[in-house]
A and B are shown apart, each in its own frame.
Chain A
Amino acid sequence: MKRLCILILAVLIAALALPAFAQAPKAAGSNLTIGLVMVGPYNDRGWSQANYDGMLYVLDKVPGTKLVYIDKANSADRPGTTVSQLGESLVAQGAKLICFSSDDMMDEAVKFAAAHPDIFVIMTTGDQQWKEGKAYKPMANMINIMGKMEYMKMVAGVAAAMTTKTGQIGFLGPLINDETRRLAASAYLGARYAWVNYLKKDPAQLKFRVTWIGFWFNIPGVTADPTQVADEFFNSGCDVVISGIDTTEAVAEAAKFTAQGKKVWAIPYDYSKAMDEGKGVSLGVPYFNWGPAYAKTVKEAMNGTWKAHFEWNDPDWKNINNPDTSAVGFIKGNLSKEASEGVDKFIGELAKGLNLWAGPMNLQDGTVYLKSGQKATDQQIWYLPQLLQGMTGQSVSK
């Protein structure tokens, strides 16, 4: 009998304790200090600045919010520190919500969220809270946010294909993972679509080459130098380089080659003003607009409606550059009339439901990825295992 009592008591305690662990942190109320952890410098004119600007948007739109941040949160720039430790320094400054804004911080963000169940955590680009995802790890205090950049990379591919005279496009890739594979593949799908459907050319004539540098930005002595990789592209016949890295080396190099009399272009990435360094040589920029999603999530933390989830946000097809509604956008740069019309036409078709992630489609090694008529699921796109057939470059790290 005594044993039974103890057992019942234990079950009761467990039943009471479980939901307590699985509960989101208490609503922050009318004031909230946000802590933003960025992988690169906050003014990198790329990924980190796009995130920083997203938080400035939150400060502007959500009353009662304050921002503390730390940038260059990577072990090369801040040796000896861990990202969760940096998150804690922001908590020490009063932050109740920490946004880890880089894929590089995944492991540490999970460590941090587990150790601090009372702090809200945004893990940007992550898939830990995606029930259908491969990395699902339920944590009541974590939300994953990502924008559907795939669309805008396709647009970039269209701009590149409509512009190239040599038929050779280079993709300056960061490191190899699911995200970078699917974004490079999206750029290729857009380029091939324009090449075949708008320019009526033979797809075999389109060369699309990917070179990875090894990280999101240049770390001297550790990564390949993106400046040299861009130069190599331009010297070996590519006249358009699509950048997939956080910083703007591709644009700078295109400007340098143009000054030397070569006709080349680049497409920067991540940040809406990334073209400023080379307006004449930039065909446009696919960029993230983190503000709206961050603002919504911050409000949820404040008013108590926070619920752990994963979101992969669409552009606003009515106006992909609407700062209040569109998660991703594309700003046109120095495009020819024909290329500009091609880009507009393509965006119109996407808005009407054009899906380039449809079969028949093979992976780089020839295995079938999508059968004829088959449409890729979100999971198939997110976890694209290789580059696609027709693309040159490393698919998987060897």
Chain B
Amino acid sequence: MPFRETAMRDDKKTRIIFGLGSVLAALALTTAIVAATGNNPLQAYGNIIQGAIGSPNVAANVLVSWVPLALATAGLLFTFTGGLWNIGIEGQITLGAIFCTWAMRSLQDTALSPGIIIAFAIAAGMLGGIFWALLAGALKTFGGVNEIFGGLGLNFVATALNLWLIFGPWKRPGVASMSGTLPFEPELWMPTVSAQSRLALIPLALAVLALVIAFILLRGSHFGLRLKAVGKNPKAAYLLGIPTWQHMLLSFALCGAFAGLAGAVQVSAVYHRLIPSISSGYGYTGLMVAMLVNFSPVFAGPVALFFAALSVGSIQLPIVLKLDSSLAGVIQGFLVLFVLIGNGLRLKLLGRKRGSI
């Protein structure tokens, strides 16, 4: 074993130490903030836990929230692997919701059975997401527009389009309201496990499937390998004969499909109508999850579940402690920040050791 690697090795142990350190730092800072507001941090965490797993009902709500987050994260694994920052995912979720609503509105008065209508609507939602993602992809590959700026712009356009539809062509009779479009008839709601529950099994299965697909394609296929090459070094990949822009567009399309599915699920299984903030920030949270797990399809699901639990659990904070529920967002943000800092620090330390010898 070469001498230089005994000082600090980039092995599992180091990674775990840095990972744990980052998590502890994030927790410490959050705790300090809660304490500074004059609240008991342990009580706050206790309430979040209680609010996330305290009863079968809230645990089901966590899963409801996990579905769109897991779908968004699964999609983002493709674009991140391709070296792309798909900030436009929020807009892709919104377009999925819009296309899904459009399909349901068009088909709800036909003789088709509710199951078929929902299936069409879900497919339409996925198409909507693909369409919007390909726009960002085309802007990048053919227009030279960085996908971050293109995506941001498309997010604004998607929001504007959504609001225009809700306040305009799809408004309730005589009413223009932020409450959204008229709810669909209960036959067109995705069936839930019970009348009391909000949890629908089909979206849950679809989210699990999406993660499995992401895992298989990214870890076990030529496509995944080539996409990785494109992501690491597009020029080298191109010289090696990999069709670069095609792979980028394909990763956009895959991400858009999952994002659109998330939007369609929000319409057909959660809100049962189109509302202004239909994407609910799941795209941005998905970006955080993907970064936190370092784009690993294995950890994406569990970490998304943890984030969903934080979000749902934090609803207890304003009720019980009169504390703002954005604390969950603070914890999530700090976690990502510190893990990224930890990674950077680790690599820098390793690099310095290597460089100094």
Contacts and interface: CB of A to CB of B under 8 A. Distances in A.
A398 B319 CA distance: 39
Interface in A314-330: none
A90 B276 contact: no
Given A78-B325, A80-B282, A175-B178, A93 B195 contact: no
Nearest to B324: A72
A106 interface: yes
B319 A69 contact: yes
B275 interface: yes
B179 A76 contact: no
Interface in B293-329: 311, 315-316, 318-320, 325
Contact of B315 (A68, A86, A222, A398): A86
A178 interface: yes
B356 interface: no
Given A82-B270, A398-B168, A215 B178 contact: yes
Contact of B318 (A70, A115, A385): A70
B14 to A, nearest CB: 36
A104 B178 contact: yes
B82 to A, nearest CB: 28
B37 interface: no
B280 A79 contact: yes
Given A82-B270, A397-B167, A104 B179 contact: yes
A101 to B, nearest CB: 14
Given A75-B275, A397-B171, A107 B183 contact: yes
Chain A binding surface, main DSSP class: loop
A16 B167 CA distance: 45
Contact of B198 (A85, A176, A215, A222): A85
Contacts of B311: 80
Given A75-B277, A80-B311, A92-B54, A176 B175 contact: yes
Contacts of B159: 221
Query: Which of A76, A86, A107, A223 gathers the greatest number of chain B CB atoms within 10 Å?
Result: A107
Query: Which of A89, A116, A176, A221 gathers the greatest number of chain B CB atoms within 10 Å?
Result: A89
Contact of B174 (A81, A90, A176): A176
A202 to B, nearest CB: 32
B175 A397 contact: yes
A78 B320 contact: no
A222 B178 contact: yes
Interface in B60-74: 61, 65, 68
A214 B54 CA distance: 38
B315 A75 contact: no
Contacts of B319: 68-70, 89-90, 93
Interface in B175-233: 175-179, 183, 195-196, 198
B300 to A, nearest CB: 18
B40 interface: no
Contacts of B277: 75-76, 79, 222
B281 interface: yes
Contacts of B280: 75, 79-80
B346 interface: no
B273 interface: yes
A396 interface: yes
Interface string A65-107: 0001111101110111110111011101100000000011011
Query: Which of B51, B198, B272, B276 gathers the greatest number of chain A CB atoms within 10 Å?
Result: B276
B57 A88 contact: yes
A177 interface: yes
B318 A104 contact: no
B23 interface: no
A212 interface: yes
B45 interface: no
B174 A92 contact: no
Query: Which of A68, A72, A74, A81 gathers the greatest number of chain B CB atoms within 10 Å?
Result: A81
A199 interface: no
Interface in A213-234: 214-215, 219, 221-223
Given A75-B277, A76-B276, A80-B311, A175 B176 contact: yes
A80 B65 contact: yes
B175 A175 contact: yes
Interface string A374-398: 0000000000010000000000111
Contact of A397 (B174, B183, B271, B276): B174
Given A75-B276, A398-B168, A89 B178 contact: no
A106 B175 CA distance: 13
Nearest to B282: A80
B6 interface: no
A82 B199 CA distance: 13
B163 A89 contact: no
Nearest to B68: A80
Contact of A82 (B68, B196, B271): B271
Nearest to A35: B319
Contacts of A82: 198, 270-271
Contacts of A107: 179, 183, 272-273
B34 interface: no
A300 to B, nearest CB: 25
Contacts of B271: 75, 82
A345 B130 CA distance: 65
A70 B179 CA distance: 18
A92 B325 CA distance: 17
A10 B68 CA distance: 43
Contacts of A214: 167, 176, 178
B58 interface: yes
B55 interface: yes
A72 B159 CA distance: 21
Contact of A385 (B57, B167, B171, B174): B174
B196 A115 contact: yes
Interface string B249-272: 000000000000000000000111
Contacts of B281: 79-80
B174 A178 contact: yes
B176 A212 contact: yes
Given A85-B61, A92-B54, A115-B196, A177 B282 contact: no
22 contacts: A72-B318, A74-B178, A79-B277, A79-B281, A80-B68, A80-B281, A82-B270, A82-B271, A85-B315, A88-B57, A88-B61, A89-B51, A89-B315, A89-B316, A89-B319, A92-B54, A107-B183, A116-B196, A214-B167, A214-B176, A222-B178, A397-B176
Instruction: List 3 tightest A-B contacts by C-beta distance, closest first.
Output: A397-B176, A79-B280, A80-B280
Given A82-B270, A177-B176, 12 more contacts: A72-B318, A76-B277, A79-B280, A86-B315, A89-B58, A89-B315, A89-B316, A92-B57, A115-B196, A176-B176, A214-B178, A221-B159
